[in-house]
Amino acid sequence: MMEHIYNDLKNLREKGALVHCITNYVAMNINANTLLSIGASPLMSHARSELGEIAAISSCLVNNIGTLDDNWRPSFLEASKFYVEQEKPIILDPVGSGASKLRTQTCLDIINGSKKLIIRGNASEIQSLVDQNKISSKGVDSSIESHAAIESGKILSKENDCVVFISGGDDFIIYHDKITKISNGSSIMTKVTAIGCSLSCIVGAFAAVGESLYKSAISSAAIFSIAGELAASKSEGPGDFQVNFLNKLNNITEKEILDNLKITSV
């Protein structure tokens, strides 16, 4: 399991990936810088009139509903159709799902209209997509620990034949009954806005070049969280963490991955 992680990173750095992000205003800058640091290329576009052309040249689609509005909602749904037609990966970041009916329904509509799908969210967001009556969300921050959403993640994965990636203190990557846990990262990562959104972009980059969506999600979780852990160890706070994090994504080595990875099958 460990061997493919660095190979996936090496493959991404060699091949590159053009990641089409329909993302939120808060996240655009750090999303783009994170993709560049890992070896991919960002493309930010949500104009409906160009979605078909953009899909034709891009490697994958990342739908992030963070600053959702009535004008952007059709773009998420229409873009997904183009990527389904071309059999390219789609990543959904269900930011704040459960906080409003609009957010939850938009996510469900994207899921229903997607294939080759990875859903990456926190525990509250994942639970809201399975049983809206049993979870109270406070928005983009999870009110529960990641492990509490494992059963919801399994249901979501099986019902939609997709990979579910639950982020938190521990990360859980789920495909049907297969579950991998990664226990790297740092609490300082929660103090920088759009770090989670950037992870979804990295998931897309790996999915674009990887041999399977499940393995790609594992690789992205491992490298992203290890880079965060190593960057945090030399940072005084959130400010310099951002700089150190981008640098570490750019220069992380195979040895650093093998020496620090905390991974188990659940």
Q: How many CB atoms lie within 10 A of CB 8?
A: 23
* Strand, helix or coil for residue 181: strand
**98 touches 128 (CB < 8 A):** yes
pLDDT for 184 equals 97
Task: Please state the rounded mean pLDDT for residues 107-125.
Answer: 97
pLDDT tier for residue 206 given thresholds of 50, 70 and 90: very high
What DSSP letter does each residue of 20-76 carry, written as one string? EEE--TTTHHHHHHHHHHHT-EEEE---GGGHHHHHHH-SEEEEE-TT--TTTHHHH
**124 touches 138 (CB < 8 A):** yes
Q: Cβ contacts of residue 173 below 8 Å, gap of 6+?
A: 163, 164, 165, 166, 179, 180, 182, 214, 217, 218, 221
Task: Please state the rounded mean pLDDT for residues 110-122.
Answer: 97
What pairing do the DSSP bridges indicate for beta strands 18-22 and 60-64? parallel
Q: Residue 108 is which amino acid? A: L
pLDDT for 135 equals 46
- pTM confidence score: 0.94
**91 touches 118 (CB < 8 A):** yes
Architecture of the domain delimited by 3-265: 3-Layer(aba) Sandwich (3.40)
The length of the chain in residues reads: 266
pLDDT in tens, 37-67: 999 999 999 999 999 999 999 999 999 999 9
Annotate 36-54 with b (16+ C-beta within 10 A) or e (fewer): ebbbbebbbbbeeeebeeb
**The pLDDT of residue 143 is above 50:** yes
pLDDT tier for residue 145 given thresholds of 50, 70 and 90: confident
What are the extents of the domains in the chain? 3-265
Percent above pLDDT 90 for the chain: 91
Average per-residue pLDDT in the chain?
Answer: 94
Tell me the CB-side half-sphere exposure of residue 159, using CA atoms within 13 A: 13
